[in-house]
Chain A
Amino acid sequence: MRKVSSFGKTIMNTALLIFSLSAVFPIVWMLYSSFKTQQEFTLNIFALPKNWNLENYIEAFKIGQLHNYFFNSVYVSLISVFLIIFLAFIIGYMIARHDFPGRRIIYILFLFGMLIPIHGLLVPIFIEFKNVGLLNKPYTLILPYVAFGLPIAIFLFESFIKQIPKEIEEAAIMDGCNTFQVIFRVIFPIAGPVIATATILSFLTAWNEFPFALVLIQDPALRTLPVGLTNFNGQYTVNYPQMMAAMSVTVLPVLLVYLAFSKKIIQGMTAGAVKG
């Protein structure tokens, strides 16, 4: 029986540790750089700040209007995520469980969405939204975020639900559950990890989305953070530390959301852990 030598183990452990650290480093770097002055930053971009001044954050809120955009981002992202999970779960369930005319076509149509380059649809979507009068409304951005978030979520749900043994549902139906109840009372609770995954992914895409937010919204009162972030770029100048401060403000909430969910995933993971 071949075993990994202890030397091999040390190497693997070190490699993993280096990789993991490289994954945290950018955020750490971004955080401490946001306390530097522009001059300090250009002189040595990796050095720690000499003084931890909050100037950049104050400026960031002033220039970027971050406090205004923050709420919009939260609102748009949360509703989008909720709708994506809700709709995708139903669709994923139907496609995974039932055979109905057009099932394959519908599934393929949705999967197709993952291939579509967003920039290619920017102009047609703008024109369509303009014609129907959907530009510049509080719910404008929710539509594209949901539509473009559905494919991956449906995909994840469909492949997960397919693997669940049918007996569970059959028992529930015997107990008198209707379809909606089967979906959300029986299947939904056991899909924890995959729901967490889909939630994180759709939240991230909505939170970080930029082209639609730029083009479909005019009213500054409805702007989201990613568009606000670009306020830091002038025509010929960029103030990096200030931008870092603003980026930190936008990254921290997502990071928290992720950390909240990651715990859930890991709990689920260790409960049924595969021991090697």
Chain B
Amino acid sequence: MKTSSMYKTLALLLAILTLGVLSACGGDNNEGATDDASAISMMHYYNKELNEPAPTAQLEKLAEFKGENSDIKIDEEIQSHDNYETKIKTLAAGNELPDVFLIKGSMTQTFADNGQILPLDDFLNEKDGWKDQFVEGTMTPYEANGNVYGIPISGGATHLIYYNKDLFAQAGINEFPTTWDEFTTAIDKLNDAGITPIALGNKGKWVMNSSYLSTLANRFTGSEWFQNIMNQEGDAKFTDQQFVDALSAIYQLAQQDAFNANMNSIDNSEQQAMYMNGKAAMFIEGDWAAGTLTSDAPEDILAATEIAIFPAIEGAADEQNTVSGGGGWAYAINADVSEEKLAQIKEMIYHLTNQDAGKLILSKGQIPAITVPGKEDMDIPVLTKKILNIVENNKYVPIYDTVLAPSIIEVMNSNLQNMLIDQVSPEDAAKAIQQEYERKSK
């Protein structure tokens, strides 16, 4: 009968299931690696198949280290970049952080306050001259309560203007503008020539923050103002005229149609795509974009690509040769690791972040956080060379979202999006940011 056969099937399924669960229970005895207490647990987001410069370099160095230290067991968990962030925060909440892992600048304060990561100042001084080999400003995001908590890997600029000199010439611009006024005039000319001046993909909200505002605001406010904001000293406020002027400059760009209309609904890889398709004369992003351009851009576009930074603001008092940079990810060590493991982890981190590692990162086309001697003679991609040139002639200033509290960044980013589409004025945006800043300072 049909009903009884169904019943039999059910019973059979139940039996299989029970067996499955039981055998699964037994199965975890021979998992090995994950439960091995002597192995160093490590979490990162490097995927060699994606061919991203710094991660690939790290993987190669890691393999090298494993080869040289076969007695050290390393148990890696690899997640994709976005998942990595969610997962590491959940692990932190459950106090289950791996022995060694990557942190972003914005995580430093929280992890440090919770006593979950080790201060690394002593470690940096253990190796001769190591600390001083790092480019100035690359440690800033990982400082909290007077200590350094992370050893940075890459630390290029987050603000670079990639522009197409052929399209500029078509619009009658023969040289990249050297003042802000010239810059806005150039945008008008490009618009008149029917070319989208700047491709902007700000859906992820961080582009406007790390690749625009962090550098542009510094042109207006100077570094001291931001130091005061960061350390909550003096009377610096986000509502100060200099900062509002910086916001207004961005607001004005949007007002004169410098960007594509869908700037808040496409992401950074789409802004690159617009540029690579020759639809836009510029896009503004960090040094990593050079890698994508080098591998994916059509030849004519790549050949026409030059790199610049925001020009100087007329009449602004402070130094104008700055560029936001020194961010990215850094190695952090779990505060609970044993002495023995700590020694091994230190060796490993040193191997991954010393000048040799830096050289490898550079040769793959990304700017390392550490200085690389003899780079002039190295064979590196053309665009990366151009970027290196810019980075060396300018000074790093902090990237906002690596040093300010995440909630302030969130308010800032939402307001920037709204400001771009004229939903909020620069003054009101500044007020909202200041309000959150005061709430956090309490």
> Contact residues of A with B, CB < 8 Å?
38-39, 42-43, 59, 62-63, 75, 79, 82-83, 86, 122-123, 126-127, 130, 136-139, 142, 181, 184-186, 188-189, 211, 214-215, 218-221, 227, 230-239
Contacts and interface: CB of A to CB of B under 8 A. Distances in A.
A214 B47 contact: no
A230 B34 contact: no
A233 B45 CA distance: 10
Across the A-B interface, give the 10 residue pairs with the lowest CB-CB distance, nearest first.
A138-B24, A63-B49, A235-B81, A230-B80, A234-B50, A42-B273, A185-B3, A127-B94, A123-B93, A215-B90
Contact of B268 (A62, A184, A236): A236
B402 to A, nearest CB: 14
A130 B276 CA distance: 47
Nearest to B328: A235
Contact of A126 (B13, B28, B94): B94
Nearest to B54: A235
Contacts of B276: 42
Contacts, number: 115
Interface of B: 2-4, 6-7, 10, 13-14, 17, 20-21, 24-25, 27-28, 31, 34, 45, 47, 49-50, 52, 55, 77-83, 86-87, 90-91, 93-94, 96, 268-269, 273, 276-277, 285-286, 288-289, 292, 296, 298
Nearest to A135: B96
Contacts of A137: 24-25, 28
Contact of B94 (A75, A130, A214): A130
A220 B78 CA distance: 8
Contacts of A139: 21, 24-25
A236 B289 contact: yes
A236 B77 CA distance: 20
B288 A236 contact: yes
Nearest to A234: B50
Contacts of B24: 137-139
B124 to A, nearest CB: 25
Contacts of A220: 77-78
B90 A123 contact: yes
Nearest to B31: A219
Contacts of B83: 214, 227, 230
Given A83-B17, A230-B83, A236 B94 contact: no
B296 A38 contact: yes
A215 B88 CA distance: 9
30 contacts: A39-B298, A63-B49, A75-B20, A79-B17, A79-B21, A86-B14, A126-B91, A127-B94, A137-B24, A137-B25, A138-B27, A139-B21, A139-B25, A185-B4, A188-B3, A214-B83, A215-B86, A218-B34, A218-B77, A220-B78, A221-B31, A227-B83, A231-B47, A233-B80, A234-B52, A234-B55, A235-B288, A236-B286, A236-B289, A238-B269
Contact of A59 (B49, B79, B298): B49
B10 A184 contact: yes
Given A38-B296, A82-B17, A234-B81, A184 B7 contact: yes
B96 to A, nearest CB: 6
Given A63-B49, A189-B6, A236 B87 contact: no
Given A39-B298, A233-B81, 16 more contacts: A43-B277, A63-B47, A79-B21, A83-B17, A123-B93, A123-B94, A137-B24, A142-B21, A185-B4, A185-B6, A214-B87, A218-B34, A219-B31, A234-B52, A234-B80, A236-B288
Contact of B292 (A63, A79, A237): A237
B93 A126 contact: yes
B34 A188 contact: no
DSSP majority for the B interface?
helix
Contacts of B17: 79, 82-83
Contacts of A59: 49
Nearest to A41: B273
A42 B94 contact: no
Nearest to B23: A138
B269 A219 contact: no
Given A82-B17, A230-B82, A235 B52 contact: yes
A236 B4 CA distance: 57
Contacts of A42: 273, 276-277
Contacts of A126: 90-91, 93-94, 96
A26 B128 CA distance: 59
B13 A82 contact: yes
A139 B34 CA distance: 16
B31 A79 contact: no
B145 to A, nearest CB: 25
B86 A214 contact: yes
A35 B93 CA distance: 42
A157 to B, nearest CB: 15
A186 B94 contact: no
B209 to A, nearest CB: 15
Nearest to B82: A233
B107 to A, nearest CB: 15
A232 B93 CA distance: 27
Contacts of B286: 236
A236 B3 contact: no
Contacts of A142: 21
Contact of B34 (A63, A136, A184): A136
Contacts of B78: 220
A122 B47 contact: no
Contacts of B6: 184-185, 188-189
A130 B28 contact: no
A122 B86 CA distance: 10
B46 to A, nearest CB: 10
Contacts of B93: 123, 126-127
Contacts of B25: 137, 139
Contacts of B81: 233-235
Contacts of A184: 6-7, 10
Contact of A63 (B50, B55, B277): B50
Nearest to A186: B3
Given A123-B93, A218-B34, A237 B86 contact: no
B50 A237 contact: yes
A86 B10 contact: yes
A216 to B, nearest CB: 9
Nearest to A137: B28
B28 to A, nearest CB: 5
